[in-house]
Amino acid sequence: MTHDDVRSPTEGLARHPLVGRPGKVIALHLNYPSRIAQRGRTPAKPSYFLKPVTSLAVTDQTVERPPGAELLAFEGEIALVIGKTARRVAREDGWSYVSAVTAANDLGVYDLRAADKGSNLRSKGGDGYTPLGPEALPAAEVDPAALRVRTWVNGELVQDDSAGTVAFPFGELIADLSQLITLEPGDVVLTGTPAGSSVVVPGDVVEVEVDVPGTEHRTGRLRTTVVEGAVPLPDFSAQPAADDHQRAEAWGSREAAGLAAEPAAFELTDELMVKLQKVSVATLSSQLRKHGYNQLSIDGVRTNHPGRKLIGRARTLRFVPAREDLFRSHGGGYNAQKRAFDALGPGDVLVVEARGERGSGTVGDILALRAQVRGAAGIVTDGGVRDWNAVAALDIPTFSGGPHPAVLGRRHVPWDSDITVACGGATVQPGDLIVGDDDGVLVIPPALLAEVLDAAIEQEAEEEWIAARVAEGAAVDGLYPLTGDWRKQYDAERNTDQPNTDA
């Protein structure tokens, strides 16, 4: 077959020339350290997903990017073909159950990940989304650690890595899978992709080859041409939906996707936490006003944990007004709301833009529990909360517009996360400091914190001294605020109380 004689995946394959009609195709999420570094998460154990047998393709076929999608990504991989039935095999015996090795391209549409709830069925299961070939290498003749995978896009080398670097050796993968799943002859296991996976567009040609450098063992180049799909997904199907998180994942980085770099995370040190615990939101608000900031209060929210202080870095979630077609495309599955809660980390405060609309819940007990388990410091929403008593019973404090029994779709569509949002009349950016107590919630830009916080601590010291004088019977004239003789007396006592640091 010539390069110009490409075949469409819609023709289908009754049997693949290398593997026949396997019972299953299993793919690994993360394995190469280069890819793990890109993703920023290190798996403790291997994790997998299934791809349909109908996704198999051969070299020189086309693959369709669905109409409306923008994030079709390639992943050059080493595919293992099972040669004999494997059930509960030992780690050291795993490789002996592999009969052949070939090149694979684990293609996927990141625009459809939200509909998958983590299964990858829609995003990676389309016809033609698992090309294999063109030739197979006998497993008995190669050292799995010596295998190399390379990928070219339009003739440019974009992936080049060795199986000797993987976190989970190939024989170990077979042994691991066989503990609960019987692997049968012809089954295919994809072993992960290295760094360099990225987005391709119609007209691009992707080639993948597996070899053993310095030998004659090579599969030849597995060639796939990207074409634009001609048949849109119907309204009853989940529609492609891309956001900046998916763009960064598909392209490999925010920079590669043309997105601005995320601001450096603001570090809440133990020293800052001690200081912040000492000062009230009211005092911080007063100091922000003195510094010219009058729009940093998240209004209309109240805590479900009176007496508890909220301190943390902002992560954000945005809802847009409910619209039936948009809720169908963005509201179901692993939507922006669920992704935002799953992305929370220790010390984070999820700030939810709900437009002050309290006629629906924006968080319930399950997601609030998820935030707590992730170590988040709190939740702030200018919308309603479902399962009010259950949420209040959790340790994590939640500030909201109050309880409401309705589900999200009555008023909202989850739209995007970790962007600038408006909550309770205040603009909040990811990384802002969020401080809350019984008086309310403030947003503090990190660059302001040191100056404002020290001034707030001094103000509270003054007010504590003033309160003591009032308790002794003093009138407030000249005392609150401190002026004249009262000021002199306070300063004299304050200086006396300061430790002597002279040598």
What is the spatial distance between Cα 74 and Cα 150, in angstroms, rounded to a whole number? Answer: 12
Q: Note whether 365 and 384 are within 8 A (CB).
A: no
Q: What is the pLDDT of residues 356-411, one digit of tens each?
A: 999 999 999 999 999 999 999 999 999 999 999 999 999 999 999 999 999 888 99
Report CA-CA distances (Å) from 199 to 57, 110, 182, 247, 296.
19, 9, 34, 9, 40
SS3 per-residue string spanning 101-121? EEEEECCEEHHHHHHCCCCCH
H/E run at residue 36: helix 33-39
Residue 8 is predicted with a pLDDT of: 67
25-42 burial: b if 16+ Cβ within 10 Å, else e: bbbbbbbbeebbebeeee
Decide if pLDDT at 261 tops 60: yes
What is the arithmetic mean of pLDDT over 455-461? Answer: 88
What is the SS3 assignment for 63?
A: strand
Asked if pLDDT for residue 503 goes beyond 50, the answer is no
What is the spatial distance between Cα 276 and Cα 309, in angstroms, rounded to a whole number? 9
How confident is residue 3, by pLDDT bands cut at 50, 70 and 90?
Answer: very low
Tokens in use for 384?
């309603």
Please report which confidence band the pLDDT of residue 267 belongs to, taking 50, 70 and 90 as the band edges: confident
Give CA–CA dist 166/147, Å, rounded.
11
Q: Which of 152, 98, 108 is nearest to 130 (CA)?
A: 108
| pTM for this entry | 0.62
Query: CA–CA separation, 125 vs 299, rounded Å?
Result: 46
Residues 426 and 356: their CA atoms lie apart, in Å, by 11
* Average of per-residue pLDDT across 187-197: 97
pLDDT of 12 reads: 61
| 285 contacts: CB under 8 Å, gap ≥ 6 | 296, 297, 439, 440, 442
Per the listing, tokens 């399950």 go with 366
Helices (H) and strands (E) in the chain, counts: 12, 27
Strands 130-138 and 56-57: parallel
| Cis bond before residue 134 (omega within 30° of 0) | yes
CB 316 within 8 Å of CB 418: yes
Instruction: Note whether 262 and 430 are within 8 A (CB).
Output: yes
Q: Please check the confidence at residue 2 and state whether its pLDDT lies above 50.
A: no
Rg of the chain over Cα atoms, rounded to whole angstroms, equals 29
Residues ≥6 apart with Cβ < 8 Å to 132: 16, 18, 19, 56, 57, 58, 79, 102, 103, 104, 188, 222
pLDDT, mean of residues 90-113: 97
Mean per-residue pLDDT over the chain, rounded = 92
